Each structure stands twice: as structure tokens, then as C-alpha cells.
Amino acid sequence: MRKFMRAGLWALGALMLTLATAAVATNYSLWINGRTGGGVLGNYADFTYWGPSSTDAGVNKKSVNWDGYNHISDQNYLVRNALDCYCTGTNWCYVAAHSAGDLMIGYTLSMYGGSTRYKKNAVAGTNGECSNSDGSTQTGWNIKWVDVAAGAGGGSELADAGDWAVSEPLVSDLKTSTARAMYDHNNTRSAWFYMYAGAKGTLYSFVLPGQDDEVVAYHSSGGVSGSSGGSYCNPGDWLCNDLTLGTAANQGGRAKWTNHSVVFRDDAEAYNHYTNKAWGGVVSKVRADMVANAR
């Protein structure tokens, strides 16, 4: 009888292991902040940058906090930690990024998207790192797609012209020539970047070319390719090329970065750059998409 019980318990253990492996396959929604930061680094529950943490923002949402002040390269380990935690093994991720968060996730995928990653257990310590699950590895991360609000992957002329503090390391990364030379923006490891571009900018319109959300111009938020910026607008402006929706080349012929698609262009000039710690501005559009489709 005892022998039988022992055999039964072993079988049960094997069954539990199998069930555990299958059952913990989980999808996550990762939110990567932009300049200024605000959330505690490594605390994936701290949504200070974005707004109330009680707000719905996609399945199993996690706030991937970095300081929004230092260089992209300095802070990049925080993003890689989060991707390792939640986007390896049987777990998959949807990513949402705002402003310089676009530069952050683009840099990560271009530089490290094909690197060998340990599969993690999705249980984060206070430093934001997770333990290995079974010691095995995989190539890259499991990312279904990326939503980008007011993306600064193409930089901002506010960093070019000395309007932002030169003492801030991130500002030099955001110079348009530097941001665009930092990595191959077309190399997203085949993940789609869905671009949401706001146009309610007035204050810096004499610095930011074409339409802008008060921090970034359409050439960046619309994922327009090239080593420098350019002037792109809503349809109807005769003096400025249109930013096209989708993946089509823009008026004037300049292509978008590959795997970048403009899904929201602010024709009504109603959305600015700022979250206002209330999931505001263009982020509100991305949040709606995450709620609907990141599940």
C-alpha cells in the first residue's frame, strides 16, 4: 500500500509540474516611460509616471520604470530585466511606450533582440530582477507588438536647439541626429510598432517642424525614417508634406521605418504630449488600444 501511495505521489508530482508549466503561460502589458520618469526603479507596480495604478491598461500591466534622466544605454538594463522577467519562456508581452520610451524599446530590440536570454519566473525582487525558471535559455524575447504614444525615437528639436538643459544626459540622446544614429530603427525583430502621433502643440511650433504635440514633431511620433527630422503635417496643409496613415511612404516620398505603422494621426489637433499623471494626452489613445487588444 505504501509503495502504491509513493508511486501515486510521484505521478501526482509529475502531473503538477506539467500543469504548472501549462498554467503559468501568461500575457503581460509592459509600460515603458519617457523623459522625467518618476516611478521607483524595478517596482513594476508603481505607475506614478502614468496615472492611477487602478486604471485598466491591458492584461497584467507592469510599469517598466527607468529614471528618464540618464542615457538610454545607462538605463537599458532596467528594460532588459523587465523583458527577461515577463517575456520569456511561456510568457508573452505587449509593450506600450511613451516618448523616450520609444527610443528605449527600439534600442533594446535592435541591439539585444537576438541575444540569448535566460527564461525567468516572472516573480520580481525589489531590484526588478527575476530568478531563472529552469536554467534554459531562448533567443530574444516574446513580444507580440508595441504601441507607441508620442514616440521620440526620431528625437526632438527641443534637444537640438538648446531649449532643454544640456546638463541632462538624456537630452543629448534626444538630439535628432543622435537619436536617429543610435541604432537601426528598422530592426524591430519583426515586431510591429503602432505609432500614435499627437498634434496639439503650439508653444514650440517655431522650433518643432510641421505638426507637433509640444515635445515631438510628426517626423518622430510618426516613425519617419532618415538620419534627420523633417516637416510633416495633417492633410490639408499645402506648405507641408502629409504624414500618411499606415505604413505607406509619406507625401514627398520619405518612407517610414520598417514595421512602423501610424494608426493614429491627430487630425483634430486634440492630443498633446503629456500624461499629466492621468493617462492623458496621446497616451490615452494607446491605453484604449491596450485595453482592447492586450489581453
Partner 1 sequence: MSRLLFVIAGAAVAVLVGVLLPGGETPAVVPTRPVAVAQAAPAPAVMPGSTASSPYTVDGLRAKQSLLALWQGRLKRAEDTLASYQRSTRYPHEARPLSEHPDQVRPFDPIADDIPLRTPGGDAAKGVRVRTTQDRVFASGAESVRFTVRAVDESGKTLPLLVTRATAFDLPDPRQVAGRPQAPVNFTDAGSGDGTLSAVLQPSTQGFADFAGTIRLQVYLNQDGQLGNVYFDVVYQPLVPAEWAGVREALSNGSLDFFLKARVAQPGRYVVSARVDDASGKPFALLSFNDEVAAGAQEFRLTLFGKLVRDTAPVFPLTLRDVQGFLLLPDKFPDRAMLPRLTGAVYTSRSYALASFADTEWSSEERDRYLAELNKDVSESKQQVEELTR
Q: Using DSSP, state whether 183 is helix, strand or coil.
A: coil
- Binding of partner 1 by 180 (CB under 8 A): yes
- Binding of partner 1 by 258 (CB under 8 A): yes
Q: Please check whether residue 223 is in contact with residue 154, taking contact to mean a CB–CB distance below 8 angstroms.
A: yes
- The Cα–Cα gap between 125 and 132 comes to 12
Q: Between residues 41 and 59, which has the closer beta carbon with respect to partner 1?
A: 59
Quote the cell numbers at residue 98: 511613451
Q: How many CA atoms lie within 13 A of 134 on its CB side?
A: 9
In single-letter form, the type of residue at position 67 comes to D
Q: Between residues 145 and 196, which has the closer beta carbon with respect to partner 1?
A: 145
Q: Between residues 123 and 268, which has the closer beta carbon with respect to partner 1?
A: 123
Contact pattern from residue 156 through residue 175 relative to partner 1, giving x for each residue in contact according to CB under 8 A and a dash for the rest: -x--xxxx--xx-x--x--x
Write out the binding residues for partner 1, residues 260-279 only, by CB under 8 A: none
- Binding of partner 1 by 144 (CB under 8 A): yes
Min dist. Cβ of residue 73 to partner 1 (A): 3
- Binding of partner 1 by 176 (CB under 8 A): yes
Phi-psi label, residue 62: left if phi above 0, alpha if psi -120 to 50, beta otherwise: beta
Quote the cell numbers at residue 1: 500500500
Residue whose C-alpha is closest to residue 79's, from 61, 97, 59:
97
Of 37, 113, 151, 153, which lies in the binding site for partner 1, with binding defined by CB under 8 A? 113
In single-letter form, the type of residue at position 47 comes to F
Of 60, 132, 251, 284, which lies in the binding site for partner 1, with binding defined by CB under 8 A? 60
Write out the binding residues for partner 1, residues 77-106 only, by CB under 8 A: 77, 90-92
Quote the cell numbers at residue 73: 544605454
Instruction: Choose one: 35-43, 46-54, 182-190, 273-281; the region binding partner 1 (CB under 8 A).
Output: 182-190
Q: Using DSSP, state whether 284 is helix, strand or coil.
A: helix
- Binding of partner 1 by 56 (CB under 8 A): yes
In single-letter form, the type of residue at position 17 comes to L
- The Cα–Cα gap between 123 and 99 comes to 28
- Binding of partner 1 by 228 (CB under 8 A): yes
Write out the binding residues for partner 1, residues 192-211 only, by CB under 8 A: 192, 206-207
Q: Between residues 157 and 266, which has the closer beta carbon with respect to partner 1?
A: 157
The answer to whether the Cα torsion of 106, 112, 118, 123 is positive or negative is: negative
E strand or H helix at 111, and its extent? helix 100-112
Of 2, 3, 22, 268, which lies in the binding site for partner 1, with binding defined by CB under 8 A? 22
Tell me, by CB under 8 A, how many residues bind partner 1: 80
- The Cα–Cα gap between 173 and 164 comes to 12
Of 53, 115, 127, 131, which lies in the binding site for partner 1, with binding defined by CB under 8 A? 115
Helices 100-112 & 72-86, crossing angle to 10 degrees? Answer: 70
Of 43, 132, 226, 244, which lies in the binding site for partner 1, with binding defined by CB under 8 A? 226
- Binding of partner 1 by 257 (CB under 8 A): yes
The single-letter DSSP state of residue 259 is T
Instruction: Choose one: 35-43, 97-105, 132-140, 270-278; the region binding partner 1 (CB under 8 A).
Output: 132-140
